[in-house]
Amino acid sequence: MKMVTAIIKPFKLDDVREALSEIGVSGITATEVKGFGRQKGHTELYRGAEYTVDFLPKVKLEIAIIADQVNSVVEAISTAAKSEGEGKIGDGKIFVSSLEQVLRIRTGETGSVAL
Amino acid sequence: MKMVTAIIKPFKLDDVREALSEIGVSGITATEVKGFGRQKGHTELYRGAEYTVDFLPKVKLEIAIIADQVNSVVEAISTAAKSEGEGKIGDGKIFVSSLEQVLRIRTGETGSVAL
Amino acid sequence: MKMVTAIIKPFKLDDVREALSEIGVSGITATEVKGFGRQKGHTELYRGAEYTVDFLPKVKLEIAIIADQVNSVVEAISTAAKSEGEGKIGDGKIFVSSLEQVLRIRTGETGSVAL
Amino acid sequence: MENTLIEMQFALDTFYFLVMGALVMWMAAGFSMLEAGLVRSKNTAEILTKNIGLFAIACTMYMVVGYDIMYGGGILLDGISGTGDKYSNAADFYFQVVFVATAMSIVSGAIAERMKLFAFFAFAVVFTAVIYPMEGAWTWNGDAVFGLFKLADLGFADFAGSGIVHMAGAVAALAGVLVLGARNGKYDAQGNSRAIPGANMPMATLGTFILWMGWFGFNGGSVLAMASKESANAVAMVFLNTNAAAAGGVIAALLLVKLLWGKADLTMALNGALAGLVAITAGPDTPSALEAALIGAVGGVLVVFSINVLDKVFKIDDPVGAISVHGVVGLWGLLAVPLTNSGASFSGQLAGAGTIFIWVFGTSMVLWLVLKAVMGIRVSEEEEFSGVDISECGLEAYPEFTK
Amino acid sequence: MENTLIEMQFALDTFYFLVMGALVMWMAAGFSMLEAGLVRSKNTAEILTKNIGLFAIACTMYMVVGYDIMYGGGILLDGISGTGDKYSNAADFYFQVVFVATAMSIVSGAIAERMKLFAFFAFAVVFTAVIYPMEGAWTWNGDAVFGLFKLADLGFADFAGSGIVHMAGAVAALAGVLVLGARNGKYDAQGNSRAIPGANMPMATLGTFILWMGWFGFNGGSVLAMASKESANAVAMVFLNTNAAAAGGVIAALLLVKLLWGKADLTMALNGALAGLVAITAGPDTPSALEAALIGAVGGVLVVFSINVLDKVFKIDDPVGAISVHGVVGLWGLLAVPLTNSGASFSGQLAGAGTIFIWVFGTSMVLWLVLKAVMGIRVSEEEEFSGVDISECGLEAYPEFTK
Amino acid sequence: MENTLIEMQFALDTFYFLVMGALVMWMAAGFSMLEAGLVRSKNTAEILTKNIGLFAIACTMYMVVGYDIMYGGGILLDGISGTGDKYSNAADFYFQVVFVATAMSIVSGAIAERMKLFAFFAFAVVFTAVIYPMEGAWTWNGDAVFGLFKLADLGFADFAGSGIVHMAGAVAALAGVLVLGARNGKYDAQGNSRAIPGANMPMATLGTFILWMGWFGFNGGSVLAMASKESANAVAMVFLNTNAAAAGGVIAALLLVKLLWGKADLTMALNGALAGLVAITAGPDTPSALEAALIGAVGGVLVVFSINVLDKVFKIDDPVGAISVHGVVGLWGLLAVPLTNSGASFSGQLAGAGTIFIWVFGTSMVLWLVLKAVMGIRVSEEEEFSGVDISECGLEAYPEFTK
Ligand SMILES: Nc1ncnc2c1ncn2[C@@H]1O[C@H](COP(=O)(O)OP(=O)(O)O)[C@@H](O)[C@H]1O
Ligand SMILES: Nc1ncnc2c1ncn2[C@@H]1O[C@H](COP(=O)(O)OP(=O)(O)O)[C@@H](O)[C@H]1O
Ligand SMILES: Nc1ncnc2c1ncn2[C@@H]1O[C@H](COP(=O)(O)OP(=O)(O)O)[C@@H](O)[C@H]1O
């Protein structure tokens, strides 16, 4: 099994979720995170003193899947999360790592049936 | 070493934490996350327009442990996090992955003594 | 590739970020988390009833890097995140795990160029 | 000694105007809090800026020229120097100026979360300098409409301004919303309305209570006299009825939403209170307490349906429900007057409402379109997505809370 | 001319009632904000709905029948039409009606975070229509208690309502809390009390300041006259003493908690202010400023101990401390009257307090139990866990902030 | 009958004082909300505690000895018992006491986020008992300064206290900030000022509106009479001008920041409103409406520059801008008086400002230094980092929201 972790722009969340459910992914855990990357933050002004908000709000999605699904999941995410046209800096990243075990708390099932 | 990641219902947090400390786990990192899964969100009403809150608040626990402890930790979590009786949809999931290295910043210790 | 995950004190965030950018790390994802560890929470008082806030606010940093960089990154973080002098309980932990694949959504690049 | 007595009457009436005026001024805080509570957190600082800015603009423009257009008194108030016949003319100005600000406040809520701040301010300048004073002159000052006919002759009566202030504000807002369009994400691809919950309900509730309190000044002060038994009794009845109508509006709205949706939607209770207040404003002097409560209750029912119909059927995106509360219910308030006041007629009320609508809608529409052409009135899509707080004000309303 | 003078007195007294009444009405906002600040965010929208709803119910039921029971005046106020002898009877109603709402507001805080909204509203209907007006008739209107004895004859004096309004509200709340039980999680398995912090301290502080301000109307208006040197002096002393008592309550509570726990617990400072105000309410006219400050300070000390004893010893779960602030300190206020007012006696005060307690506690208890049997008064455990905002109101108070 | 008429005048004047005083008391809530909105969430509960505590201390100390020092009347008000010549002396005390609290409130904002709570309270005790009453006696009571010279003789005029109240508060704050130093993190290693945004803009805006409303009492009440045609007219003009100046301050500040930085910084609009109000306070009776608006507008411009210069050039860390709003603009207010009031002279205004500055700065500085030596005035670095809410008050302002 694999764990796919995607960092995306917050307002792409709905699109990505839809794309994932179309290919049969039923479980996602989402976290609000702050990203530091190539995309730079913006400057705010408060009483005449500037200050930089140099983190950007992003959403992290974690999706546990069986190994066979990795490619389709990564593609679904990257298609849905990419800004129109050429893509934009800050569209995000997808990370894949291996997952040794999964357990569904309710039933005690383990392995791919627990996903 | 292993990293155990559990997604649980927020109001089970205290129980799980207690169960873990009983079996000697001393470190946990908790994050508030939103879960999309089999359990469906609820509908709220605002000025006559319905809207679905389709994510559910969950807590993600990350616990780094030595490999030998995996089974006891997983069992402690799953017992404490399971709803009374049969369990309920949305009780959550436990993921286990492997951890290559750990370092305690304060002392510079690495490996299992750093846990 | 490796994923380095560090749990640090929130007010060390700026220092750590600076230390990382000095050694050429360009991407970081940060999450606000709550830590339970050796460092104990504090007691608050509300209308004469005490209560313990036993989680502590921490920041989790996730940094995807090529394997060669692991040592320098871990060192940069641990130096910057350590409290002055001997270090203090609660300074945090660094975890390293392996990363199988990375993809930059904008360009579709994968592997180390995508970091 | 007789002189002293007359001076005392003068003093009491002046004092009464000032106290009532301070209560109406307080409504500016009410609108600010109501609107700040009903928008999303990313647009909160901007709507606060809008509200304090529009209040300042209204006070200034009405001083410069608005009061003169409406009641005479000279450009820059040069006829006003704290003298007067029955009460200080400075107190009269003070009382009148906060009404202008009220009318203007109504607009800001409806066009929230997507309009350029300075385009709004430009609108406010013209609205408070000319558009409102003109229709105010035709009604409260009894001038003939463009020299043609007098509304009072037709049997038009609007005691404290259900039409002149509230409906006028709502009509200007309606024109603005039509030119501006709905917020991004308000309607989905199929045209279904999506709820966009406001960020801070305690603020919205506080705003409603402030408005409720301020309304005693709004309606109570509109008796325009206190220092005799008759006028004191009249003011007292107006207070009593204003309160009864607001209470009726809350109860009606709460029961209705509970029946319709099974939930006691707080925002509808708040709008119900305001609807009750708007409804009674055209005639708080003539009904009995029970009649006042019923007039308010009808307002509370109307507002629930109106908000839903405007939103779902007409796709008019009004984040705070201002057009329904002040416009639709303002019209109801006008039409309810003849029920208890023989001095007013339905035809007169319709004539008055029509006159106000045509004038305010026409001029506002032209003004919004001119502003759109000249400086643009809508922020960019990206600015709207990130929130107008950053783009217009450069700061965040709750920098430590929001996500 | 003599007539004009008499009319002027009439006008000034009426105006005074209306201004004082508007300040008391403002207290409704104070209770709303205080309670909204002291509950958790998941229960905030519901308590706001509760507060605006109960205010509307109180205003309506007191109009329908309550005022008639308490003072006469006719069902549906048919005897009230803005006339009157020394001041407009409409102004009198307006001033009295906001007192009922105050009494009712006290209840809402104590039963917060677990009661069904419409069960509460049902209680409010009966409380404001009958329970409060009955005891009000025995006290302020001087009626004999069930035709048996007159409290005034026994030396009972309660100037502005420490007992009649505040203790009465607290007693109704106590009955409710006893029937309802504590919030889930308030007491652990060993019966230890656990702190459940309120979500928004600025709101709670704002509420306290609003109440402080409104209290000038509450006590100041209870002189019931302004238009003579004597009454003007009396009103001024009442203002001065009310302020001194509130200040005394804050200082005493703050110093005490600092001594006890080493921390300046803001919530206790707020409760100290309210305790000072409640304490002076039974007799703000007779003490000197220093005496008033001391009466308030004793209230501030009492409230700190009372909150802790009720919570830890009696396991009475009162999220906002209403029973201590209004009940325990209300009783203290009654008992303090004879210290500076020779017209009152300890026995009379005890008799009055006893009468109020028995009547309000008895009827309230029956009513709560009937409501429990008929419609249930407590939300389900799951609803309580997720918060009553979702289950009762269908929305969230801070949809973007909370976790 | 003549007697009755005189009594009526007495009653109306007394009533007027009480209503104006209640509005000024309300400013305490305004300062609390303003400051609570402009600090970070971790320091919010403490500043609320500070504000309600200082209000209580001011009311108590001024009662104990302050009023006697300033106007006579006896220790513990033993000369005050609700009698009086033209109005109740109790009403006079009530009106005066809320002014002391205002002066004290100004200090709390400037030293926010780093001072020990009880050190601040200790300062408040002395400031409200002695420092303010002394300079108040020299100015409003016309006493000779240390028996040497009378400010009035030099042509000093400060109608409602731009200097006596506002600048005095700001000067005490300045001394405090100099002794205390800047907040950690306010200036970086290179000495560059870093922005530290306040946590809650709606609260700050609410506070500003409350202050705006309360200011009508502050300035309007300072006419000190209402019950004649002349004084009624004067009060009305004061209301009108106060409002015009505030509006002018908002518009000037908003336009200026838009020009300077391209953004409509809400916090500057709020400070602009307050600057307009402070500026007009020294002489709201003599200007025309236009002049008032311009005096306010200059205040609005000054405040923007002053905040930036104090912050960036002088490294004076004043989280809410109190020293600029009340001090710099208070001085401007004093200097603007001779422009429209022939009874005042520039030299007199400078003499008065100088006297106030020297007295308040000198005594405050000594007091801060003594407190620093005796009990320490600054919290530890760790406490400052975690927020003074936990260390001083033991609770959090928003336990469920902040991170
Ligand atoms: N090496 C990395 N490790 C962890 N997170 C990263 C890394 N690089 C980027 N990210 C995350 O992805 C987000 C987008 O990255 P960014 O560099 O801004 O754009 P792009 O991926 O289009 O080049 C960042 O805000 C950050 O949250
Ligand atoms: N495949 C998955 N990947 C990541 N997180 C998941 C996955 N499936 C479920 N989750 C998380 O676990 C939570 C519970 O899952 P759910 O399907 O609702 O219940 P159950 O596990 O009892 O079937 C979800 O809300 C989500 O946060
Ligand atoms: N075994 C663990 N698994 C996951 N997170 C841990 C673990 N141990 C510690 N942590 C995280 O690291 C933080 C610091 O740990 P703590 O034990 O307080 O200090 P130290 O690392 O200096 O001994 C904790 O608050 C927690 O978030």
| Domain spans of chain A, in order of start | 2-114
Chain D hits for F209, CB-CB cut-off 8 Å, are 26, 28-29, 32, 52
Chain C hits for B3, CB-CB cut-off 8 Å, are 95, 97
Whether chain E has a CB inside 8 Å of the CB on C36: the answer is: no
Q: Which atom of ligand 3 is nearest to the CA of C56?
A: 25
Whether chain F has a CB inside 8 Å of the CB on E186: the answer is: no
Task: Check whether E61 has a pLDDT greater than 80.
Answer: yes
Whether chain C has a CB inside 8 Å of the CB on E311: the answer is: yes
Chain B hits for A3, CB-CB cut-off 8 Å, are 95, 97
Whether chain B has a CB inside 8 Å of the CB on A5: the answer is: no
Mean pLDDT to the nearest integer, E163-182:
98
* Structure confidence at residue B41 (pLDDT): 67
Please list the rounded mean pLDDT of every run of 10 residues in chain B (115 residues).
Answer: 94 90 92 85 74 82 95 96 87 95 94 90
* Structure confidence at residue E289 (pLDDT): 97
Is the separation of the CB atoms in F27 and F91 below 8 Å? Answer: no
Name subunits touching F (3+ CB pairs < 8 A). Answer: A, C, D, E
Mean pLDDT to the nearest integer, F93-116:
97
* Structure confidence at residue D87 (pLDDT): 95
- Long-range (24+ apart) CB contacts under 8 A made by F368-372 are F368/F123, F368/F175, F368/F176, F368/F179, F368/F180, F369/F179, F371/F119, F371/F122, F371/F123, F372/F119, F372/F179
Calculate how close chain F gets to A42, using CA atoms only, in Å: 14
How much of chain F exceeds pLDDT 90, in percent? 93
Say whether the D–B interface has 3 or more Cβ pairs within 8 Å. yes
- Residues 6 or more apart whose CB falls under 8 angstroms from that of D87 comprise D10, D13, D14, D16, D17, D225, F232
Nearest Cα neighbor of F105 from F161, F153, F184, F149 is F161
Nearest residue by C-alpha to atom 27 in ligand 1: A35
- CA-derived radius of gyration, chain B: 17
Calculate how close chain F gets to A6, using CA atoms only, in Å: 24
Task: Check whether E359 has a pLDDT greater than 80.
Answer: yes
- Whether E202 sits inside 8 A of F44 (CB atoms) is yes
Calculate how close chain B gets to C97, using CA atoms only, in Å: 5
Calculate how close chain D gets to E7, using CA atoms only, in Å: 5
Mean pLDDT score of chain F:
96
pTM of the model: 0.95
* Structure confidence at residue E403 (pLDDT): 53
| pLDDT tens digits for range E302-317 | 999 999 999 999 999 9
- The partner residues of A19 in beta bridges, in order of sequence, read none
Q: Which two tokens stand for residue D286?
A: 């003539």
- Whether A35 sits inside 8 A of C26 (CB atoms) is no
Calculate how close chain E gets to C45, using CA atoms only, in Å: 8
Residue C53 C-alpha to ligand 1 middle, in angstroms? 33
Residue A93 C-alpha to ligand 1 middle, in angstroms? 6
Task: Check whether D117 has a pLDDT greater than 90.
Answer: yes
Residue D177 C-alpha to ligand 3 middle, in angstroms? 54
Residue E41 C-alpha to ligand 2 middle, in angstroms? 26
The pLDDT tens digits along chain C (115 residues) read 999 999 999 888 988 999 999 999 989 999 989 998 887 767 777 887 777 777 888 999 999 999 999 999 999 999 999 988 888 888 999 999 999 999 999 999 999 999 8
C56 CB within 6 A, ligand 3: yes
**What number of other Cβ atoms are within 10 A of residue B89's Cβ?**
12
Mean pLDDT to the nearest integer, D67-83:
91
**Cα E276 from Cα E278, distance rounded (Å):** 6
Of B98, B99, B106, the CB nearest to C88: B106
Which of residues F282 and C32 earns the better pLDDT score?
Answer: F282
Is the separation of the CB atoms in D266 and E393 below 8 Å? Answer: yes
Calculate how close chain E gets to C8, using CA atoms only, in Å: 22
Q: Which residue of B has its CA nearest to E402?
A: B57
SS3 F284: coil
Query: Chain A to chain C, count of Cβ pairs less than 8 Å apart?
Result: 80
Please classify residue F99 by burial: count the beta carbons closer than 10 Å to its beta carbon, then call 0-12 exposed, 13-18 middle and 19+ buried: buried
Task: Check whether E179 has a pLDDT greater than 60.
Answer: yes
* Structure confidence at residue B57 (pLDDT): 84
**Least confident span in B29-33, E27-31, E163-167:** B29-33
- B 72-101 residues with CB below 8 A of D? none
Out of 1.20.140.10, 3.40.50.2020, 1.10.3430.10, 3.40.50.1820, which CATH number does the structure's domain E2-401 have?
1.10.3430.10
- The DSSP 8-state label assigned to residue D313 in this structure reads I
Q: Which residue of C has its CA nearest to A60?
A: C29
Side-chain half-sphere exposure of A73, counting CA atoms within 13 A: 26
Residue C92 C-alpha to ligand 3 middle, in angstroms? 5
pLDDT bracket for residue D29 (50, 70, 90): very high
Chain C hits for A7, CB-CB cut-off 8 Å, are 29
- The partner residues of A57 in beta bridges, in order of sequence, read A34
Is the separation of the CB atoms in E172 and E318 below 8 Å? Answer: no
* Structure confidence at residue E82 (pLDDT): 83
Mean pLDDT to the nearest integer, D199-208:
98
pLDDT bracket for residue D81 (50, 70, 90): confident
**Cα D386 from Cα D367, distance rounded (Å):** 28
Task: Check whether E402 has a pLDDT greater than 80.
Answer: no
pLDDT bracket for residue D402 (50, 70, 90): low
In this structure, are strands A101-104 and B49-53 parallel, antiparallel, or unpaired? unpaired
- Whether E289 sits inside 8 A of F29 (CB atoms) is no
**Least confident span in A47-56, B32-41, F44-53, F376-385:** A47-56
- Whether C49 sits inside 8 A of E194 (CB atoms) is yes
**Cα E326 from Cα D45, distance rounded (Å):** 38
* Structure confidence at residue A74 (pLDDT): 96
* Structure confidence at residue E45 (pLDDT): 98
Out of 3.90.1150.10, 3.10.690.10, 3.50.50.60, 3.30.70.120, which CATH number does the structure's domain B2-114 have?
3.30.70.120
How much of chain E exceeds pLDDT 90, in percent? 93
* Ligand 2 pocket mutation pick from A28, A73, A97, A115 by most atoms within 8 angstroms of CB: A28
SS3 D402: coil
Residue C18 C-alpha to ligand 3 middle, in angstroms? 23
* Structure confidence at residue E343 (pLDDT): 94
- Residues 6 or more apart whose CB falls under 8 angstroms from that of F292 comprise F240, F241, F242, F244, F245, F248, F280, F284
| pLDDT tens digits for range F359-385 | 999 999 999 999 999 999 999 998 998
Is the separation of the CB atoms in E180 and E330 below 8 Å? Answer: no
Helices (H), D127-200: 132-139, 168-180
Please classify residue E374 by burial: count the beta carbons closer than 10 Å to its beta carbon, then call 0-12 exposed, 13-18 middle and 19+ buried: exposed
Task: Check whether E24 has a pLDDT greater than 90.
Answer: yes
SS3 E132: helix
Chain E hits for F83, CB-CB cut-off 8 Å, are 233
Chain B hits for C8, CB-CB cut-off 8 Å, are 105
A64 CB within 6 A, ligand 2: yes
Task: Check whether F387 has a pLDDT greater than 90.
Answer: yes
Of A8, A37, A98, the CB nearest to C27: A37
pLDDT bracket for residue E113 (50, 70, 90): very high
Is the separation of the CB atoms in F111 and F41 below 8 Å? Answer: no
| pLDDT tens digits for range D236-285 | 999 999 999 999 999 999 999 999 999 999 999 999 999 999 999 999 99
| Domain ranges across chain D | 2-401
Calculate how close chain A gets to B87, using CA atoms only, in Å: 5
Task: Check whether F152 has a pLDDT greater than 80.
Answer: yes
Q: Which two tokens stand for residue E322?
A: 């209403």
Whether chain D has a CB inside 8 Å of the CB on E60: the answer is: yes
| pLDDT tens digits for range D180-194 | 999 999 998 888 898
- The DSSP 8-state label assigned to residue D182 in this structure reads P
E301-322: b or e for each residue (b if 16 or more CB lie within 10 Å)? bbbbebbbebbeeeebbbbbbb
**Cα D253 from Cα D301, distance rounded (Å):** 5
Nearest Cα neighbor of D231 from E90, F1, E229 is E90
- Whether D194 sits inside 8 A of B51 (CB atoms) is yes
Q: Which residue of D has its CA nearest to F253?
A: D53
Query: Chain B to chain C, count of Cβ pairs less than 8 Å apart?
Result: 80
Whether chain D has a CB inside 8 Å of the CB on B48: the answer is: yes
- F 256-315 residues with CB below 8 A of D? 258, 261-267, 269-270, 273, 288-290, 293
Chain D hits for F398, CB-CB cut-off 8 Å, are 401
Mean pLDDT score of chain E:
96
**Cα F213 from Cα F233, distance rounded (Å):** 19
**Cα D181 from Cα D173, distance rounded (Å):** 12
**What number of other Cβ atoms are within 10 A of residue B14's Cβ?**
12
Residue B8 C-alpha to ligand 2 middle, in angstroms? 9
A99 CB within 6 A, ligand 2: no
| pLDDT tens digits for range A19-42 | 999 999 989 999 989 998 887 767
